[in-house]
Amino acid sequence: MLSRQALADQLAARGYLMDDALAMSVFLALRMQRPLFLEGAPGVGKTLLATMLAQLFETRLIRLQCYEGLDLAQAAYEWNYPRQLLALQAQRRPEAGGPADQPGTEATDDLYREAFLLKRPLLQAIDAAAERAPVLLIDEIDRADEEFESFLLELLGDFQITIPELGTLTARHRPIVVLTSNRTRDVHDALKRRCLYHWIDYPTLATELEIVRRKVPALAEHLRRRVVAFVQRLRREDLSKLPGVAETVDWAEAISHVGGETLDPPTVDATLGLLLKYHDDIERVRGPLALQLLAESA
């Protein structure tokens, strides 16, 4: 098992920078084999952390993207009814000149076994046939219905899933579980109690500068500082959606392609769509406010 510093260093080598508090949370989640619940604004690197962990440990990333209406059949398992029907038909033994016999209870029970299961992400994550522990990403749990959270309690607490017709399936290798939430609604305490919780905030100026340096090495140092300082100042405005780190990187790359030596108001106005994703936000920032933000971030 990696030490906390070694974990942070190896993730940094792959392009994921974290502060000491997040490094501690990830380290403890791995050491204690507990799910890690990450909450924060969109674009701060919650989902990316799960991807980086899968790369670090050279294991499979299993992603469950949550949405309204998500249910157990889509998230965990369902029975392969067409295949069961074919097996049932194959068990029928027609008599000469008479109708086919109906299969007995024993033959019907034989249809409810693992071979007839369609394994969805949650069940795949605890598949006993897996050679090593995967990373299970339950992304944007706040977008799912509240009722769906109850499906997760057994998995997050005991790393097992009970199927009424089959029994309880338990992980041979406990998966590394990362849950993310953009906090569009509160997640129940019962789910949070089973996890290590960490709030990821927007990065500091120094951290975001380093991220942009690594992601967009072609951008000149003085432009990189202007870009990051502008975004940091922009996040203090009352906008529908504040730009995340991904937007900062995209904007920095765009500025590098523009080829100018300075970050001027016309360039900012023309490229705001890379930072802001709502028309009202763009119209509010474009023009005088952009000029003011440029001056304050100089």
Residue 51 domain boundaries: 4-70+131-199
Three-state SS annotation for the chain: CCCHHHHHHHHHHCCCCCCHHHHHHHHHHHHHCCCEEEECCCCCCHHHHHHHHHHHCCCCEEEEECCCCCCHHHHCEEECHHHHHHHHHHHCCECCCCCECCCCHHHHHCCCCHHHEEECHHHHHCCCCCCCCCEEEEECHHHCCHHHHHHHHHHHHHCEEEECCCEEEECCCCCEEEEEECCCCCCCHHHHCCCEEEECCCCCHHHHHHHHHHHCCCCCHHHHHHHHHHHHHHCCCCCCCCCCHHHHHHHHHHHHHHCCCCCCHHHHHHHHHHCCCCHHHHHHHCCHHHHHHHHHCC
The answer on 241 and 138 residing in a single domain is: no
Domain boundary among 170, 199, 228: 199
Q: Are residues 168 and 49 in the same domain?
A: yes
Per-residue pLDDT of the chain (298 residues; tens, 9 = 90+): 789 999 999 999 999 999 999 999 999 999 999 999 999 999 999 999 999 999 999 999 999 999 999 998 899 999 888 887 888 788 775 544 444 555 555 556 677 777 888 999 999 999 988 889 999 999 999 999 988 999 899 999 999 999 988 889 999 999 999 999 999 999 999 999 999 999 999 999 999 999 999 999 999 999 999 999 999 999 999 999 999 999 999 999 999 999 878 899 999 999 999 999 999 999 999 999 999 999 999 8
Let me know whether 211 and 173 are in one domain. no
142 shares its domain with 158: yes
pLDDT at 96: 41
CATH number at residue 36: 3.40.50.300
Residues 44 and 86 in one domain: no
Judgement on whether residues 61 and 88 belong to the same structural domain of the protein: no
Statement to judge: residues 192 and 211 lie in one domain: no
Tally of domains in the chain: 3
Considering the domain boundaries, does residue 118 fall inside one? no
**pTM (2 decimals)?**
0.87
In this prediction, residue 109 carries a pLDDT of: 63
Q: Do 158 and 23 fall into the same domain? A: yes
pLDDT at 86: 84
Q: Last residue of a domain, which of 146, 176, 199?
A: 199
Assess if residue 119 is contained within a domain. no
Same domain as 233, residue 285:
yes
Q: 40 and 162, same structural domain?
A: yes
Q: In terms of domains, do 283 and 141 share one? A: no
pLDDT for position 80: 83
Regarding whether 88 and 41 lie in a shared domain, the answer is no
